[in-house]
């Protein structure tokens, strides 16, 4: 990486570092991550998160290790609806298999060689009986025996370890109040822990790069209301499971759920500390929801932008023009009132799009809504596989420069837009690349 790119990216990560300090992240990964050696690099990233003041709770799986132990013993386990039926004989082999993975994870998190990125990390890892379990019992005539589910998370105990700056490690086994051990899906434990701990983020390491649409395009930002439609798509079963988990977590006030590729070096750092991220992020629908504009919204859009047109911030748009271009607009609505809007005009033959008419009602400014509308416009351009967006502005240039735009020139605009450039307004030209750094 060139020196100037490193400096720029490191500076851009600063707001995220400040925002995340003191927050709790629950991170789930499967036993395959340990089996194939990828956890060593993930451990380095965990150490970095801990050093930045982020509370880390890890939940590991052990599927491949359990399967290997059962095969060695000549045992076969059935699965029903994705859950392993755990007999007493299977549980006898499962416990040491899970314990072996836990010890491997603890060992890698404790690495501190002077010639490694873990030097001086001094991570303290805490494991224990933090998951109180109960048996699933008999469902639809199937006796799951020693397969269980989360009854309760020992929140106070976990928080004591977090307060001591320790990384908490949860295994896919829970203990009942009677002292009986139960096999629990690691993903279910991760969801329950994130909800109980009021985690800011729940993060899944997956085989896939994230959630892909029918055309194979990565869906970087997904809101809760979009999940049912995605679940109807022929996605890999693991992604379906992650989406169902995200839906449950977001409905219980977990702010963000991330699905990131487990084989990508530094995936969690790129997802958390870069503006565009790496995988797929699922979030709750905002109270002020964004939706495509319709003709019935034109009076509300006109009322919103009229003061900005009169002050010269926005170029004037008459009703007829808005009627012609309303399909390019997205509005932000709160309790039936339009409080924000943005328009995206694509120039696909030039690989560019214009973001225009970005406006927020005066009563609702200074709370991040303008940035939300801008990022929605950027995401729209990215979904169209465009490489760059641009804006024209007379008074908000500094605001755009602070959000990864750069100053540009007239000749950098699409030729049709050059011909429409208003020489009297002399708007500043600002461009932002959508290419990965």
Provide the pLDDT for residue 312: 81
Place of tokens 């990131």: 260
Provide the pLDDT for residue 311: 84
Confidence of residue 114 (pLDDT cuts 50, 70, 90): low
**Cβ–Cβ < 8 Å for 42, 29:** yes
The torsion of the CA quartet 7, 12, 15, 20, rounded to 10 degrees, works out to -90
* Higher-confidence position of 432 and 115: 432
Q: How many C-beta atoms lie closer than 10 Å to residue 71's C-beta? A: 11
For the cut 80, the answer to whether the pLDDT of residue 141 exceeds it is yes
Decide: helix, strand or coil at residue 26.
strand
**Cβ–Cβ < 8 Å for 27, 206:** no
Give the containing element (helix H, strand E) for 94.
Answer: helix 88-109
- CA dist 347 and 349 (Å) reads 6
**Tens-digit pLDDT profile for residues 343-367:** 999 999 999 999 999 999 988 887 7
With pLDDT > 90 as the criterion, what percentage of the chain qualifies? 69
- CA dist 123 and 120 (Å) reads 9
143 DSSP β-pair partners:
138
Give the containing element (helix H, strand E) for 429.
Answer: strand 428-433
Domain spans of the chain?
3-283, 289-433
3-state helix, strand, coil in the chain (%, to 5): 40, 25, 35
Confidence of residue 59 (pLDDT cuts 50, 70, 90): very high
Provide the pLDDT for residue 5: 72
**Tens-digit pLDDT profile for residues 209-252:** 999 987 888 988 888 888 998 998 889 999 999 999 999 999 99
Provide the pLDDT for residue 437: 44
Residue range 97-117: average pLDDT? 82
- CA dist 155 and 190 (Å) reads 13
**Cβ–Cβ < 8 Å for 50, 118:** no
**Tens-digit pLDDT profile for residues 406-426:** 999 999 999 999 988 888 788
With pLDDT > 70 as the criterion, what percentage of the chain qualifies? 95
Provide the pLDDT for residue 333: 86
What is the CATH code for 289-433?
A: 3.40.630.30
DSSP string across 300-361:
HHHHHHHHHHHTTSS----HHHHHHHGGGEEEEEETTEEEEEEEEEEEGGGTEEEEEEEEE-
**Tens-digit pLDDT profile for residues 11-57:** 778 888 888 999 999 999 999 999 998 999 999 999 999 999 999 99
CATH 3.40.1160.10 for domain 3-283, yes or no, is yes
**Tens-digit pLDDT profile for residues 387-402:** 999 999 988 899 999 9
Decide: helix, strand or coil at residue 425.
coil
Task: Report the mean per-residue pLDDT for the chain.
Answer: 90
- CA dist 254 and 419 (Å) reads 48
Task: Output the CA–CA distances (angstroms, integers) from residue 391 to 137, 318, 400, 417, 437, in the order listed.
Answer: 59, 20, 8, 11, 21
Provide the pLDDT for residue 92: 96
**Lateral strand order in the sheet of 388-393:** 289-292, 329-334, 337-347, 352-360, 388-393, 428-433, 406-407
Burial letters 261-281, b for 16+ CB under 10 A, else e: bbebeebbbbbbbeebbbbbb
């Amino acid at each position: 990486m060139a020196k100037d790119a490193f400096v720029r990216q490191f500076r851009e990560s600063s707001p995220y570092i400040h925002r995340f300090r003191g927050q709790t992240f629950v991170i789930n990964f499967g036993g395959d991550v340990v089996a194939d050696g990828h956890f060593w690099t993930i451990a380095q990233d965990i150490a970095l998160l801990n050093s930045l003041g982020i509370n880390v709770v890890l939940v590991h799986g052990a599927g491949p290790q359990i399967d290997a132990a059962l095969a060695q013993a000549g045992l076969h386990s059935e699965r029903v609806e994705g859950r392993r039926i755990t007999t007493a004989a299977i549980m006898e082999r499962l416990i040491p298999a899970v314990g072996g993975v836990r010890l491997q994870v603890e060992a890698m998190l404790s690495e501190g060689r002077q010639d490694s990125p873990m030097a001086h990390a001094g991570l303290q890892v805490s494991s224990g009986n933090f998951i109180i379990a109960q048996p699933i019992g008999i469902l639809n005539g199937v006796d799951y025996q020693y397969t269980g589910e989360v009854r309760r998370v020992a929140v106070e105990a976990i928080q004591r370890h977090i307060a001591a700056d320790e990384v908490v490690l949860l295994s896919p086994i829970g203990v009942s109040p009677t002292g009986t051990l139960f096999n629990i899906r690691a993903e279910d434990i991760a969801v329950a822990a994130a909800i109980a701990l009021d985690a800011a983020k729940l993060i899944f390491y997956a085989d896939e790069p994230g959630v892909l649409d029918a055309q194979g395009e990565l869906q970087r930002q997904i809101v809760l209301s979009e999940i049912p439609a995605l679940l109807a798509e022929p996605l890999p079963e693991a992604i379906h499971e992650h989406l169902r988990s995200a839906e449950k977590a977001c409905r219980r006030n977990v702010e963000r759920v991330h699905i990131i590729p487990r084989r990508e070096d530094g995936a969690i750092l790129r997802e958390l500390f870069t503006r565009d991220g790496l995988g797929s992020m699922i979030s709750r629908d905002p109270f002020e929801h964004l939706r495509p504009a319709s003709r019935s919204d034109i009076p509300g859009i006109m009322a919103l932008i009229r003061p900005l047109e009169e002050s010269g911030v926005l170029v004037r748009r008459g009703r007829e023009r808005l009627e012609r271009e309303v399909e390019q607009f997205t509005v932000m609505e709160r309790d039936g009132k339009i409080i924000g809007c943005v328009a995206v005009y694509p120039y696909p033959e030039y690989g560019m799009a214009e973001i225009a008419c970005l406006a927020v009602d005066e009563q609702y400014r200074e709370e991040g809504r303008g940035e939300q509308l801008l990022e929605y416009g950027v995401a729209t351009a990215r979904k169209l596989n465009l490489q760059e967006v641009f804006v024209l502005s007379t008074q908000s240039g500094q605001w755009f420069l602070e959000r990864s735009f750069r100053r540009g020139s007239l000749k950098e605009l699409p030729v049709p837009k050059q011909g429409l450039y208003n020489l009297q307004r002399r708007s500043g030209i600002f461009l932002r690349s959508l290419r990965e750094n």
